[in-house]
Amino acid sequence: MNRAKREAIMNAQTFDQLLDAEYGQIGTPEREQFEIDAAAFSLAETLKEERLKAGLTQEQLAEKIGTKKTYISRLENGKSDIQLSTLFRIFEGLGRKISLTIV
């Protein structure tokens, strides 16, 4: 890490300033990739949390929605992309509904 970046990180007073220093300003390719990765991580954690709340193993959830345990595992670990239809099916299998907001 170069000195200017390190100083910007050390001098950051808000989370937004820290993100700017580490990943660049909003709109830069690096920042956009960070935002995409952060959203995917958040979704994976939500999926895992809801599965655990429902008292299901990955294998039980997979059986319930007609997929394989390895797929659920890859989703929860952020190692696989998910189709929207599959996302809806998973949360329906968990007895939950999801909604999307376009901003």
Largest CA distance in the chain: 52
Q: Is the pLDDT of residue 65 over 80?
A: yes
DSSP helix, strand, coil percent of the chain (3-state; round to 5)? 65, 0, 35
Q: Would you say residue 55 lies in a domain?
A: yes
Domain assignment present for 74:
yes
Of residues 24 and 103, more confidently modeled: 24
Number of domains within the chain: 1
User: Left, alpha or beta for 54 (phi > 0: left; psi -120 to 50: alpha)?
Assistant: alpha
What does the alpha-carbon distance between residue 37 and residue 46 come to, in Å, rounded to a whole number?
14
- Rounded to the nearest integer, the mean pLDDT of the chain is 92
Name which residue leads in pLDDT, 58 or 84: 58
Dist. CA 4–CA 48, nearest whole Å: 38
Whether 68 is covered by a domain: the verdict is yes
CA distance linking residue 39 with residue 16, whole number of Å: 16
pTM, rounded to two decimals: 0.76
Q: How far is CA 97 from the centre of its chain?
A: 17
Q: Report the alpha-carbon distance of residue 54 to residue 22 in Å, rounded.
A: 37
pLDDT, residue 81, reads: 83
Q: Does residue 47 lie within any of the structural domains?
A: yes
Is residue 98 included in any domain, yes or no? no
Whether 58 is in a domain gets the answer yes
Is a pLDDT exceeding 90 seen at residue 1?
Answer: no
- At residue 93, the pLDDT reads 92
- Within a domain: 100: no
Q: What is the CATH number of the domain that holds 38?
A: 1.10.260.40
Does residue 101 lie in a domain region? no
Mean pLDDT over residues 73-100, rounded?
Answer: 90
pLDDT of residue 63: 95
Q: Span 77-97, mean pLDDT?
A: 89
The domain of 29 spans 3-93
